Amino acid sequence: MWDSRIPTGVYARLYASWKRVWREVGIIEGIFRKYGVRRIVEFGCGLGRHGYLLSKRGFDVLLTDIEDRRFGVAKKLPFKRYNLLEGGSIGVFEGGYAVGVITLFGYEDIVRILRNIKSVIGSGIFIFDYNFTPYIDPEKVEVRVNGKKYIAILEKNKYTQINGGLIYEYRVRVVDEKGSTVGVEEASYPIYNKEEILRAIKEAGYIVKEIAWASWDPLEYIYKPSDKESDSAFIAITPR
């Protein structure tokens, strides 16, 4: 379960900064270029910033999500509604990717989603990020949007042990300079270890092409590439 009622402009500054998106797009781009992939689809595009940067770098990108939340320049890109759990026909692409999406689902739904994606990427490549370990979120984060200050306050941060990982629950309240609430985001979802994710990939009928390891910095809210196995990864898979 994930629900965000934070205003789009504030959300973009808090959780989808261009610095973060640029770093993630660099990893995704490197993998796609290695395998000659150009025509791609983003699943769960959210604000659409990843797709926008990839389009500026020469990729033919279709943005998809369960609802249209594109923001700013990303509105220039083509968009189709697509529910990962339901699947459906939106064309066939050379590759696909999802950032911050697969982690929101339980094991059975991950397998289901990966199977649905097969009909969209054919024999192509799908890339997704995953954080395998818990981390400590900052209690407060301040940002400025159009000259106004907003503060994201962590009200709940709880981990519960389950087989193969943890259940993570959190709630963030965003207030303005006057202390008035402008939005709340809360979620509860599993964080699986590497072995569980690899098992889901295999069960869905994929093989791993490569893994680009990264470490997650919760203070900067950004991935940092790692030359060795780490707490997070961008995993490139292809149907068997």
Which helix (H) or strand (E) covers residue 118, if one does?
Answer: helix 107-121
> Do 123 and 26 fall into the same domain?
yes
Q: How many CA atoms lie within 13 A of 228 on its CB side?
A: 0
| pLDDT band, very low/low/confident/very high, at 2 (cuts 50, 70, 90) | low
Confidence (pLDDT) at 114: 98
Q: Are 70 and 87 in contact (CB under 8 A)?
A: no
Q: Domain boundary residue among 189, 207, 226?
A: 189
For residue 36, count other CB atoms closer than 10 A to its CB: 9
pLDDT value for 136: 76
183 and 75 assigned to the same domain: no
Instruction: Kindly state the tokens that stand for 222.
Output: 């950004």
Residues 91 and 162 in one domain: no
Q: What would the pLDDT profile of 13-67 be if each residue is shown by its tens digit?
A: 999 999 999 999 999 999 999 999 999 999 999 999 999 999 999 999 999 999 9
Domain containing residue 38: 2-133+193-239
Q: Do residues 168 and 181 both lie within one domain? A: yes
pLDDT of res. 211: 98
pLDDT digits (tens, 9 = 90+) for 153-209: 999 999 999 999 999 999 999 999 999 999 999 999 999 999 999 999 999 999 999
Q: Summarize pLDDT for 202-237 with one digit per residue, the tens.
A: 999 999 999 999 999 988 899 999 999 999 999 999
If asked whether residues 129 and 145 sit together in one domain, one would say no
**Domain match, 68 and 124 both:** yes
168 and 230 together in one domain: no
Distance CA 78, CA 185 (A): 27
151 CB contacts (<8 Å, ≥6 apart)?
Answer: 140, 141, 142, 174, 175
Q: Are residues 90 and 202 in the same domain?
A: yes
Tell me: pLDDT of 98 over 60.
yes
- Tell me, yes or no, whether 121 and 214 share the same domain: yes
How far apart CA 18 and CA 12 sit, in angstroms, is: 9
189 close to 2: Cβ distance less than 8 angstroms: yes
Cα 231 off chain centre by: 15
Which tokens sit at 51? 């797709």
pLDDT tens for each residue of 66-93: 999 999 999 999 999 999 999 999 999 9
Q: How far apart are CA 33 and CA 36, in angstroms?
A: 5
Whether residue 150 is found in the same domain as residue 181: yes
CA distances from residue 127 to 59, 148, 169, 208 in whole angstroms, order as listed = 15, 36, 25, 10
Output the pTM of the full model. 0.95
Compute the average pLDDT of residues 118-123: 96
Same domain, yes or no: 19 and 55: yes
Q: Is the dihedral of CA 8, 9, 14, 15 positive or negative?
A: positive
Q: Is 128 helix (H, G, I), strand (E, B) or coil?
A: strand
83: helix, strand or coil: coil
Q: Name the residue among 186, 236, 240, 239 with its Cα closest to residue 33.
A: 236
| Count of structural domains within the chain | 2
CATH of the domain at 14: 3.40.50.150
DSSP 17-46: -HHHHHHHHHHHHHHHHHTT--EEEESS-T
Same domain, 13 and 72: yes
